[in-house]
Chain A
Amino acid sequence: MASGSILAKEVRRIVLEQSKRANVGHIGSALSIADIVAVLYGGAMRIDSPQEKDRDRFILSKGHAALSLYAALHLRGWLSKGDLDTFCGNASFLGVHPEHTLAGIDFSTGSLGQGLSIGAGVALASKLRSSSRRTFVLLSDAECNEGSCWEAITFAAHHALSNLVAIVDLNGQQAFGDTQDVLSMSPMAERWRAFKWDVHEVDGHDGEALLEAIESLDMSSGPPHVLIARTTFGKGVSYMERQLKWHYWPMSDIEYDNARAEVERA
């Protein structure tokens, strides 16, 4: 764990640095999942190297938050600073959404509602091969608007894919506003429960609680698992929190300085 420990604060710092350098948005979504990817890549997942065949798999189904994932890969030592600095550049492997051509990324995502089906296939393959490999899929709450998610949810439960863990980044916001106003998925936990998943509600910014929840899961038998992770869009930068603007906008110089200072103070 010591060699792989990742601080969410460092993930946030990289998210701010890179989104400022590249002058792009999606900052709020990336900050929303910073604690989750820090826990996954900082110890929860069994991943010694990207080349290891039986390492745990991670699918960022909400691909638009890829910057946090790049930060985690960098902090794990799988992505060099030079490559990280190509984020959103020309001829780069690091776009706004993750591409499988980058070492450490198994599946390209960006179109919502596809990652969980792929994760179910990976988990099924692990079962068929009696592999200890586990599969983690991170979805957004608004992504659950997609009907295809519920096809995958139904399939995974029917086949008792206990080695599959979905994490829902329940930040309550989507591209046009609050999920409650756009297309309510409430009550999220009850929906998954009704589909026969093992449901855990957890604070998505509490690293210890997240790790504890993941470590408590029985991944050898029984139903698939979902962590309904309550999060705050833009978490860690007070002026971004719950503000729709930060789904889209890049930061001005002053905004960047303020954001950096706040993250460093945390």
Chain B
Amino acid sequence: MRATFIKALAEIAERDERVMLLTADLGYTVLEEFAGRFPSRFFNVGVAEQNMLGVATGLAESGFIPFVYSIATFATLRPYEFIRNGPILHQLPVRIVGVGGGFEYGTAGPTHHAVEDVGVLRLQPGITVIAPADYNQARTALETTWELDGPVYYRLGKDEQRLVPGLDGAFSLGRAQLVRDGDALLIVVMGSVAPEAVAAAEELSVDGIECAVLVVASVSPVPEEDLIEQLSRFRTVLTVEAHFVTGGVGSLVAEVAADNGLGCRVVRNGVKVPLGAPGGSEAYLLDHHGLSRGKLREAARLAVLQTASI
């Protein structure tokens, strides 16, 4: 996803000289595509994320469109107040690119696991928050949002292979994408864990349980109308995210349901405990937190059974 994103960014930079790329010394082997083609618009600012956001604020106020790049935790949490008082307060076109949302940096450990990045940025009005589900959607998201007036946060994964069946790279601000339909349950998923959610739905289909899957990549602005339309069809909704259950898509769905008086039950699947040992690979950690296809399949099956008994 990140390599596709940077390649697409380089194509945009070819057309528009305002586009710059700053990194806090991360992205080795990923950013060369841009750095090699546009050396005067590429800056490795060193391991200093706060300064990177401050510099980007000054550049953006001067007419540039700076993309700032780091691992998702370092891109969002360390410079959070700079993001708040800089691009958001001044409504400037700074683009924050956070790589490795969720557990993608598996064995690197909790310092590298971004499970609150979407939440802390989503609660700020005035910043667009995008969490693509696969690399094709990431490319479309970039191509349709890079020129927005205000700031944008892109939460990217590292995978360049897996595609979400039925998504076909679709993205539209303020919209959600229904990639699979069904009548037993609605699964609403955010981010690169989406293929796991679709795989769970496919496995349940074998047993005759048909689940709909809705991808929410445009977290802010909220795809309110699409969510209302889909949530209204179901008695139970299962949310899935490699993120704390508070603040991310689970909260978002619960808010839309409550705000609009929808009658559905919202079952949130995400990280519910503080980060820490045991560690392991991304696959291990997703399973540990109930986010592997197998665990999601059983969570969905249970939710369907509970719904039938209500």
Contact = CB atoms under 8 A, between A and B. Distances in A.
A148 to B, nearest CB: 4
B8 interface: no
A184 interface: no
Interface residues of A, number: 30
Given A117-B54, A117-B55, A151 B62 contact: no
A155 to B, nearest CB: 5
Interface stretch (A78-86, A107-115, A218-226, A239-247): A107-115
Given A114-B82, A117-B82, A148-B50, A128 B40 contact: yes
B85 interface: yes
A250 to B, nearest CB: 27
Contacts of A154: 46, 48, 51
A155 B22 CA distance: 13
B90 A108 contact: yes
A152 interface: yes
B305 interface: no
Interface in B142-180: none
A190 to B, nearest CB: 22
B282 interface: no
Interface string B267-303: 0000000000000000000000000000000000000
A2 B58 CA distance: 31
Contact of A151 (B50, B60, B61, B86): B50
Interface stretch (A64-72, A119-127, A205-213): A119-127
A106 interface: yes
Interface string B58-71: 11111110000000
B108 interface: no
Interface residues of B, number: 26
A265 interface: no
B81 A111 contact: yes
A115 B66 CA distance: 18
Nearest to A148: B50
A120 B48 contact: no
A159 B62 CA distance: 17
Contact of B58 (A109, A125, A151): A125
Interface in B15-61: 40-41, 43, 45-46, 48, 50-51, 53-61
Nearest to B82: A114
Nearest to A158: B46
B212 to A, nearest CB: 45
Interface string A71-112: 000000000000000000000000000001000001111110
B199 interface: no
Given A148-B50, A154-B46, A155-B48, A121 B85 contact: no
Nearest to A120: B55
B50 A121 contact: no
A111 B40 contact: no
B306 to A, nearest CB: 47
A155 B45 contact: yes
A118 B54 contact: yes
Contacts of A126: 62
Given A120-B58, A121-B56, A151 B63 contact: no
B55 A155 contact: yes
Contacts of A123: 58
A109 B54 CA distance: 12
Interface in B164-216: none
B256 interface: no
Given A108-B85, A108-B89, A108-B90, A120 B51 contact: yes
A124 B55 contact: yes
Chain B CB count within 10 A is highest, among A106, A109, A116, A151, for A151
Interface string A156-179: 001100000000000000000000
Contacts of B62: 121-122, 125-126, 129
A255 B89 CA distance: 37
Nearest to B20: A128
A114 B85 contact: yes
Chain A CB count within 10 A is highest, among B60, B62, B90, for B62
B62 to A, nearest CB: 3
Contacts of A114: 50, 54, 81-82, 85-86
A146 to B, nearest CB: 9
A111 B85 contact: yes
A109 B43 CA distance: 25
Contacts of A107: 57, 61, 90
Contacts of B85: 108-111, 114
Nearest to A117: B54
Interface of A: 100, 106-111, 113-114, 116-126, 128-129, 147-148, 151-152, 154-155, 158-159
Query: 4 closest Cβ contacts across the A-B interface?
Result: A121-B58, A117-B54, A125-B62, A151-B51
Given A114-B50, A117-B57, A148-B54, 13 more contacts: A107-B57, A116-B54, A117-B50, A121-B54, A121-B55, A121-B61, A122-B59, A125-B58, A148-B82, A151-B46, A154-B51, A155-B45, A158-B46
10 contacts: A100-B90, A114-B54, A117-B50, A121-B58, A121-B62, A124-B43, A148-B54, A152-B51, A155-B48, A155-B51
